[in-house]
A and B are shown apart, each in its own frame.
Chain A
Amino acid sequence: MGKTLFDKVWDAHVVSNIENGPQILYIDKHLIHEVTSPQAFNELKERGIPIYRPSQTVATADHNTPTLNQDKPVKDELSRKQLQQLSENCKANNITLYELGHKYNGIVHVMAPELGITQPGMTMVCGDSHTSTHGAFGAIAFGIGTSQVAQVFASQCLLLTKPKSLRVSVNGKLKPGVLPKDVVLYIISKLGTNSGTGYFCEYAGNVFEEMSMEGRMTVCNMSIEMGARGGMIAPDEITFEYVKGREFAPKDDDLTKKLEYWKTLPTDKDAKFDKEYFFDAEDIEPMVTYGTNPGMGIKINGNIPVENNLSFKKSLKYMNFEAGESLIDKPINYVFIGSCTNSRIEDFRVAANYVKGKRKADNVTAWLVPGSKQVEAQIIKEGLKDIFDAAGFELRQPGCSACLAMNDDKIPQGEYCVSTSNRNFEGRQGQGSRTILASPLVAAATAVEGRIIDITKHLN
């Protein structure tokens, strides 16, 4: 029987098998950030264990960083301390760190791909559940807890039981205005938030084959929102073209050899998956969420379903929505375009293209937070900043920002935010905030109108 993409990468990284137990899996790249690493560094220090392969770890500051005045000392004392601790830990252990202000600083899942750190066939981990993003390159990439961060520090390995395999195929032609974010929100709305638990997911079909790397990253990023530890897309020419020439990408002979290997990775025709789902691209519309988990999504011109269970009712009560109603024309005061899901250059191009020549509604605060310093520079270089400035949008500095509101970028109590991020949990964007997940296009249109509109009627 043939092997899946996941099998091939996994099997190539098994160091050994524990009888009646997990496997030792080798990790090629370990990404760290300020929030989930300090306790792991402490653990090793207390136990007198050195970092085994510091050159395979790369650090960035992103979760807890301000998006204004990054050249000045961080005001919040606890945040400042956490960032300092990361700097000290990286220095003491010879780990490369792209700290605040560095030209490569950015959200960990934006920074690593754009630097060519992320490559097909790798195993990658990070103390962040959206590490699934890197699966867009045909890598096995998943989020880990801090105890596991310490394990990778100590041994460059993890003890893991191989997950089951799942494939989601989407074929056909996407309608105008349907972006990769809509595709993944649609999949999660159909499958639910725990359908992928215990599985690694491969996305297949012409819809993903035709997607840009940015789009593929958006899709793989949200795999965890259906419970899957990771998502993967087979590497192809689009992947290779994206990786080539980047700072840490293989070069010359090394590249030739790796390309040869990468081309062997796609799933064999006769490979079997433990679970398969199929969707038609034509059925997908621009999406919005109405509840407090990412599976609670509807097409933008649809109606909130009517369900009679406690958790559903609790969710609608929190959002102050009624079962059966439509979200069209709901007034919105906050719009956030950013996060590891949608803060790459393509996302800002989509938004700028819609916004060009228009102005945001007076009631709206519109934050644009690029995923990295490089994305920020590109926004300026391409003239997108001028478009956003003229439209009254606020371009801030890179970081996780209002996706999880650890810094000052918080949505006020009771307010709705149409957000391109990945989670609409209660209070995710600030205590009492109400998140509506959507694509950068829907977010941009909401900012211009000051309310949710049926974007399908506003496209040329």
Chain B
Amino acid sequence: MYQRNTGRHFCGVHFAADIESRVADTIKIRHMIITGDRVAVALSGGKDSTALLLLLAGLLPIWQDVKLIAITIDEGIAVYREATIRAAEQLACSLGIEHHCISFPDLFGDSLDMFLKGRETQACSICGILRRKALIVGTRQAGATKLATGHNLDDEAQSVLMNVLRGDLPRLSRDSSADSSGRFIPRIKPLSRISEKEIATYLLLKNAWTELPECPYTRYALRREVRSMLSVFEYKHPGTMLNLMASKEKIEHSCAGPVISSLRSCRTCGDPSSGDLCQVCSLLRSLGR
């Protein structure tokens, strides 16, 4: 296997060992998991969350008194979601990890497909807001202290660029792993320095690769255009994505204080919010719920 940004070649065994070592380093350097943690792992059943759960389960012996709990969100996306939920159930079962599933209809009263009728172009932002909320609810219900998500380097670099393109400084400067006086369940992203291609390669080498469908709503997403553009840049100029992440970290350090201190409580649900209503309550109101 060829690692473009370092120019190194690996055999399959050493490629997998390199991924495992880099994930362990990311967790250690950023103090993502500590003794006594109950880590809820967001497990969609897709490639990134599958790799995340496999890697964390493999690292469990190096931590003391740490437990993993898998949380799957069923948004209600016809044809697409059934296959990944089955894959998630099978993986959690094979690893002996407690698994919880939370559905949009149970939590918000309807499926994503129904919420999106006539609003398809807003699919990713609506789904993202509701899915984050569902994961937080699942994490709290499971009694977990951290929420781990499978965001990879490509996802994170795309988000940085999208926030720049939108001129969204609050999002650009937010550190989701920061615990603001216990108001948030800290989110950790152990794969944030592993590229999408490395994750796919890792799964194939571990015989854990399954070809699954892509979400039918991705064709409406700005992310799709940004992903394509950034991928070309990364191919021509290896290290572009890591450079974007380094820029984000510098911005985070400069802006963390003022952004966090401006948070209030949502007047409907009490969750942390930058306005009177949190994003979820505001969205549900606009959807007529």
Partners in one complex: no
A interface list, Cβ under 8 A from B: none
